[in-house]
Amino acid sequence: MRAVSFVKKLQWDLPGTVCRYGLTIGDVDNDGDNELVVGTAEGELYIFKGSELWQKIPGLGLVTSVAIGDIFNYGRNALVVICGDGWAHIFYSPRSVNPSIINATSTQQLIKETNDQDNIKHGHANMDIETAVNMTSSLSLDQVDGNNELSELSGKMECVHVQRIPTNTKMVLVADVDKDGANEMILGLTDRVVRSYRWSSNLELGRGKLVGLNKWECANQIGTVTLQHMADGTPTLLVAQPGGTFMRIKCNPEDCHLEEETRHQGNETAASCVDYQTLGISRMRNQNISTEIIGDLECIVENKVSNYEFKESLFKSSETQHGKNLKSVSLELKKNNSQSEIRKDSLSTAEGRRKSSTSENSKTNPSRDQVDGNVLGGNIIIGDYDVKSEKDSLLPTYKHFSRQDIGGNSKTNDLKGKSQTEIDVNIQNNLLQGKPYALATLDGTIMLVKDEIILWSMQVDHQIFALCRLDVTGDGSDEIVACAWDGQTYILDQQRNSVRFQFEEPVRAFCTGNYNVTPGFPTPCLVYNSFNNKIFLYYDVTLPSMVTKPLNPIEELDFEEKKILDNLLGNCTDIERQQKLQELTEWLLYGTS
Amino acid sequence: MNNLKDAHWFPLTSQGNIYSMTKLCSINGSNKVLVASLKRKIYSCEYHLMPNLHLRPLVKELLFTYIPSGAEIISIDAYNKSDSGDGFVIGITILKASTDTSVERYLNIYTEGAIDGEGDEGSSIEAIAQNCLMVELAYTPYHLYHTILPQQNAPNEVVWLLSGSDYKIHMIREDKSNHSYSESPIEKYFPELHDIQGIAIWINIYYYNNYNWRLTVIGCECGLVNVAITNVSELKICQSWKLRYDRPISNVSIFSLKNNIEKPRFLNSNNCKSFLNDQETKLNILVVNTNNAVVFMDVLNNGMDEDITLNGSETSDCILCSCIADINMDGQNEILLGTYGQEVLIFCFVNDTWELIIRKLFDAPVHSICYMDITHDGMKELIVLTQRGVHILQHNIVDVKDKWKKRYKKFLKENRI
């Protein structure tokens, strides 16, 4: 296997233990540059910016997981810090998105002494009033921040919210899981529970808080929770389960209702939103081995589906009128196209799928489990899914926000609009097929899966504990980065080309992301936390291509030039021709100028 | 260069030194790199072309016989004694502390046995590794070097030159009748290498004018640099210089600015033979002491008078190695220096001076650099041996393809094809 050595690195001392999900890269202070956030089990939070430690926040408790995301649905990032002992902290940078506003008003530094909490309260109150009256919002959120928190020119993070949550949280995810345009906070707990929360800043509830939405119990220990969009654009949560399996949760009530209608069975609301995927050969795997999963891998290289088939699939889909059916049809198509690629093991599954999908087309009502050829089903999972009406009554803010967007907060509007178009594009792209997702187990199996078919799997002899995404080739499609306890790091593209990188020490925690060492230029980075209380950040981790190829200049010549070259080389065997070409290349490159 | 990208990297179990890397060049154009590490492990690295036109690196450990456990490898060198096929000769110097006081030192020479017929190429290197001739040394070996010993009416012979801790350079020559190697008196063949009064860290010998003349440079630990121009047929030293630096000389190199690459024979339709004109060749000498590097331009005409210090070479810790290569493919050689400060510095000759154009950082101190075609496609790769491993860097294919195409078109135009 090809191996590389990355040399550009930054190194910081970091006393304390970092949990597996205790570090992340993201734009924590909304300045356009990405920072590295690390929380330790000793309760300290470190934020690195550029080549420096930018901020250190002590006294948080046992930090198990950090996430950067728009938890408030402001269109701006906040930092969510989850402690295993049952606390959720939210940090927010008062920095203005547009620094000129601060500069213009920076003379009024009189309100310096104002209490942080009051500031925030005031800020939120403003927000709420603003949204409640549904103004066209001449006073933007940025200006509110600018006016109230002038002292914070540096934009350092401030704790804006602390809340008690159940203990034993292992990881946190901030994402829109129910397709309503607002972000939820998803917690994965070590006691086999997945919970979802949403920020609510209702005036009646005071300053606003995280409101619990759902709780799902899994059959087994949770590996990772990741977001995955299905073929029809429905967001789902994939919860990794031991033995290279996972549970899929659909959080959007409408989707579930739709399914229920088609099935004419309304009694099992929760179970219908949850299904359990064993991915074909799982019985051959160790059922106790921990699993990592990563969803929504960007994939630029589309499977080449011919126009004819494309039309056919569209035609079929219009016939069946169901997103779900569309998916299975496209799956069938895919299977036909790339049968050779599919591993033998998954063929039987695929066969089963074809049968079931045809049976589905003929209007029988198989359960999802049967579709996937697995008998293990959602019935194991006990879930208490909120009904739609309850959600609406609990969360008025989201709607207000969306209206406010129309109103004219340009920044938020832009962001939302952008993400909306992105989603639209995604949906269009995904009309045919879902995005691939990857699984890795501790015993060293890495799999790329698309629509529940294993595209490929690979076995390595290192214990993989972390699975991340990173675009190292810069071609827009995500590479899979798998890190083992001993520091061996595998970078795989979606065509199964692999590159190895050996980090010299055992690794305690690992993450990837685009970090800004110099402002304005984010580069792909690998971040390692060693057992010697150090953080290593390898930046500019780029490879022009995943495979090395020889120089083959002939392929770019036009016909005439090729003919001349053939004449020059004369009649000879392939080996002679190769040698002559080598000679010619050497002469052209080094003998002439 | 900036367009050099990591193609492969492999680690060494123990570190090597400045003598630890050598290349094996086959006549058919497939090249390998041999890397030795201090603690007995020797790796070969080559590239295989896969059916899908991807290159696959192949690194394997070669098991050389007669390297006892506990021995340490000091230097490795190899040459191809055959003009038509693969007749590799690999020399490895080892050092073994046998008791507390005494140390055994050997030069192991691995070569294909005289009786052996043509083996298939894949296994031949393993076969060579099993066929060892030992020369016991009475001194600690340093640089193992090979050069041509021109002969009046016989094919040129290749001999080993080995510098030792006894302030001498030893010539070790094959004794065909006895099927062994033995030391020959050096003053009979290389008078300029006799009596150097220092431990030679690096030796470089350059033959010119159809093997009638040679230029020899020796860099010593004590800072002494010996330069000599010798008439080969008369074995007479015509001119010699002695320079003294106050630092050890880590590397010396003789090079010309232009590379003489013969035009491929199948391109010469009009039979005008492109000949190498040695008279016009201007030879320069690069002298690298651990602090900075100095180039003496056109030594044959100017002597050691016209020296240019490489500005910036002093900025990156101790310089350990050098490499002369046309790394930007402009027809003119650049100087690459590898430093203990984990950098490779590249100097380009512009406006009659050497300018630092690129610094490239590596993961560990750079011990050795080599620019060769390991991928078998005519384009050379940069191979860098560091304290921790071996880096193979490949030029950006797209850029080189453009260059290739442009020059090919120019060639077609010039020849009105």
Determine, for residues B377 and A4 on separate chains, whether the beta-carbon distance falls below 8 Å: no
Q: Which of A561, A579, A590 sits opposite B259 (nearest CB)?
A: A590
- pLDDT 10s digits, A263-310: 444 444 444 578 888 876 655 677 888 999 999 888 875 444 333 343
Residues of B in contact with A582 (CB under 8 A): 29, 373, 376-378
> How far A553 CA lies from chain B's nearest CA (Å)?
5
Residues of A in contact with B362 (CB under 8 A): 5, 7
Note the helical H segments in A80-197: 99-105, 116-132, 141-148
Kindly give, in sequence order, each residue whose CB lies less than 8 Å from that of residue B113, ignoring residues fewer than 6 positions away.
B131
Determine, for residues A587 and B410 on separate chains, whether the beta-carbon distance falls below 8 Å: no
Structure tokens at B244: 């003294």
- Report which of A515, A458, A445, A510 is spatially closest to residue A483, judged by C-alpha positions: A510
The H helix count followed by the E strand count for chain A is 14, 30
Please give the full DSSP string across A114-147, using - where no structure is assigned.
--HHHHHHHHHHHHHHHHHTT---SS-HHHHHHH
The conformation of residue B315, written as its DSSP 8-state character, comes to: G
Nearest CA in chain A to B379: A586
Determine, for residues B6 and A556 on separate chains, whether the beta-carbon distance falls below 8 Å: no
Residues of B in contact with A581 (CB under 8 A): 378
Q: Which of A497, A589, A593 sits opposite B378 (nearest CB)?
A: A589
Nearest CA in chain A to B51: A549
| pLDDT band at residue A104 using 50, 70 and 90 as cut-offs | very low
Note the helical H segments in A395-461: 396-407, 410-429
CA B389 to centroid of chain Cα atoms: 19
The H helix count followed by the E strand count for chain B is 3, 28
Determine, for residues B55 and A549 on separate chains, whether the beta-carbon distance falls below 8 Å: yes
Determine, for residues B361 and A3 on separate chains, whether the beta-carbon distance falls below 8 Å: no
Determine, for residues B261 and A547 on separate chains, whether the beta-carbon distance falls below 8 Å: no
Residues of A in contact with B380 (CB under 8 A): 586, 589-590
Q: Which of A548, A569, A587 sits opposite B54 (nearest CB)?
A: A548
Determine, for residues A590 and B380 on separate chains, whether the beta-carbon distance falls below 8 Å: yes
Which residues of chain B are under the pLDDT cut of 50?
A: 115-116, 119-122, 271-274, 276, 278
Residue B286 to residue B137: CA distance in whole angstroms: 30
Nearest CA in chain A to B377: A582
Residue B158 to residue B171: CA distance in whole angstroms: 11
Nearest CA in chain B to A5: B9
- A589 has a chain B CB within 8 A of its CB: yes
Q: Which of B261, B263, B401 sits opposite A556 (nearest CB)?
A: B401
Residues of A in contact with B329 (CB under 8 A): 589-590, 593
- pLDDT 10s digits, A81-97: 999 999 999 999 886 55
Q: Which of A548, A575, A587 sits opposite B7 (nearest CB)?
A: A548
Query: Are A524 and A472 contacting, i.e. CB atoms less than 8 angstroms apart?
Result: yes
Q: Which position has the higher pLDDT, B287 or A205? A: B287
> How far B175 CA lies from chain A's nearest CA (Å)?
35
Query: Are A34 and A27 contacting, i.e. CB atoms less than 8 angstroms apart?
Result: yes
Q: Which of A452-466, A497-511, B147-161, B271-285 bottoms out in mean pLDDT, i.e. has the lowest?
A: B271-285
Query: Are B259 and B287 contacting, i.e. CB atoms less than 8 angstroms apart?
Result: no
Determine, for residues B361 and A582 on separate chains, whether the beta-carbon distance falls below 8 Å: no
Residue A98 has pLDDT above 80, yes or no: no
Most confident of A134-138, A354-358, A497-501, B280-284: A497-501
Residue A102 has pLDDT above 50, yes or no: no
Residues of A in contact with B268 (CB under 8 A): none
What are residue B69's phi and psi, to 5 degrees? -65, 145
Q: Which position has the higher pLDDT, B102 or A143? A: B102
Residue A322 has pLDDT above 50, yes or no: no
Structure tokens at B138: 């009475």
- pLDDT 10s digits, A26-73: 999 888 899 999 999 999 999 999 999 999 999 998 999 999 999 988
Residue A111 to residue A134: CA distance in whole angstroms: 28
- A505 has a chain B CB within 8 A of its CB: no
Residue A492 to residue A501: CA distance in whole angstroms: 11
Residue B123 to residue B62: CA distance in whole angstroms: 11
Complete edge-to-edge strand list for the sheet that includes strand A445-450: A291-294, A437-441, A445-450, A453-459
Determine, for residues A590 and B408 on separate chains, whether the beta-carbon distance falls below 8 Å: no
Residues of A in contact with B361 (CB under 8 A): 7-8
CB pairs under 8 A between A and B: 146
Residue A23 to residue B101: CA distance in whole angstroms: 55
Rg, chain B, Cα only: 21
The conformation of residue A582, written as its DSSP 8-state character, comes to: H
- The pLDDT assigned to A187 comes to 94
Determine, for residues A549 and B407 on separate chains, whether the beta-carbon distance falls below 8 Å: no
What are the Cα distances from residue B143, in Å, to A241, A567, B181, B368, B389? 59, 47, 18, 13, 21
Determine, for residues B380 and A7 on separate chains, whether the beta-carbon distance falls below 8 Å: no
Determine, for residues A585 and B417 on separate chains, whether the beta-carbon distance falls below 8 Å: no
Determine, for residues A552 and B396 on separate chains, whether the beta-carbon distance falls below 8 Å: no
Determine, for residues B331 and A564 on separate chains, whether the beta-carbon distance falls below 8 Å: no
> How far B403 CA lies from chain A's nearest CA (Å)?
8
Give the N- to C-terminal CA distance of chain B in Å, as an integer. 34
Residue A501 to residue A484: CA distance in whole angstroms: 11
- pLDDT 10s digits, A401-441: 443 444 344 444 444 444 555 545 444 554 457 789 999 99
Q: Which of A544, A550, A583 sits opposite B49 (nearest CB)?
A: A550
- The pLDDT assigned to A331 comes to 41
The conformation of residue A355, written as its DSSP 8-state character, comes to: H
Exposed, middle or buried, B228 (CB in 10 Å: 0-12/13-18/19+)?
A: buried
- A593 has a chain B CB within 8 A of its CB: yes
Handedness of CA A272, A277, A280, A283 (dihedral sign): negative
Q: How many residues does chain B have?
A: 417
Determine, for residues A587 and B54 on separate chains, whether the beta-carbon distance falls below 8 Å: no
- A592 has a chain B CB within 8 A of its CB: yes
Average pLDDT score over chain A:
72
Exposed, middle or buried, B152 (CB in 10 Å: 0-12/13-18/19+)?
A: exposed
- The pLDDT assigned to B87 comes to 81
Q: Which long-range contacts (CB under 8 A, 24 or more apart) does B166-169 make?
A: B166/B138, B166/B139, B167/B196, B167/B197, B167/B198, B167/B199, B168/B139, B168/B195, B168/B196, B169/B193, B169/B194, B169/B196, B169/B200, B169/B203, B169/B218
Residues of B in contact with A550 (CB under 8 A): 47, 49, 53, 55, 375-377, 379
Q: Which position has the higher pLDDT, A189 or A128? A: A189
Kindly give, in sequence order, each residue whose CB lies less than 8 Å from that of residue B52, ignoring residues fewer than 6 positions away.
none
- The pLDDT assigned to A355 comes to 44
Neighbours of B292 (CB within 10 A): 18
Residue A467 has pLDDT above 50, yes or no: yes
Residues of A in contact with B260 (CB under 8 A): 591
Q: Which of B9, B400, B403 sits opposite A5 (nearest CB)?
A: B9
| pLDDT band at residue A18 using 50, 70 and 90 as cut-offs | very high
- A543 has a chain B CB within 8 A of its CB: yes
Query: Are A531 and A506 contacting, i.e. CB atoms less than 8 angstroms apart?
Result: yes
Determine, for residues B29 and A569 on separate chains, whether the beta-carbon distance falls below 8 Å: no
- pLDDT 10s digits, B88-139: 899 999 999 887 788 899 999 998 765 445 544 445 788 888 888 999 999 9
pTM (2 d.p.): 0.77
Residue B282 to residue B297: CA distance in whole angstroms: 8
Per-residue b or e along B9-22, where b marks 16 or more CB atoms closer than 10 Å to that residue's CB: bbbbeebbbbbbbb
CA B269 to centroid of chain Cα atoms: 34
Per-residue b or e along B355-381, where b marks 16 or more CB atoms closer than 10 Å to that residue's CB: ebbbebebbbbbbbbbbbbbbbbbbbb
Structure tokens at A529: 């936390």
Q: Which of B11, B261, B380 sits opposite A502 (nearest CB)?
A: B11
Residue B329 to residue B400: CA distance in whole angstroms: 9
- A557 has a chain B CB within 8 A of its CB: yes
Residues of B in contact with A549 (CB under 8 A): 53-55, 397
Give the residue from B332, B390, B404, B406 with the most A CB atoms within 10 Å of its CB, the best one to mutate. B404
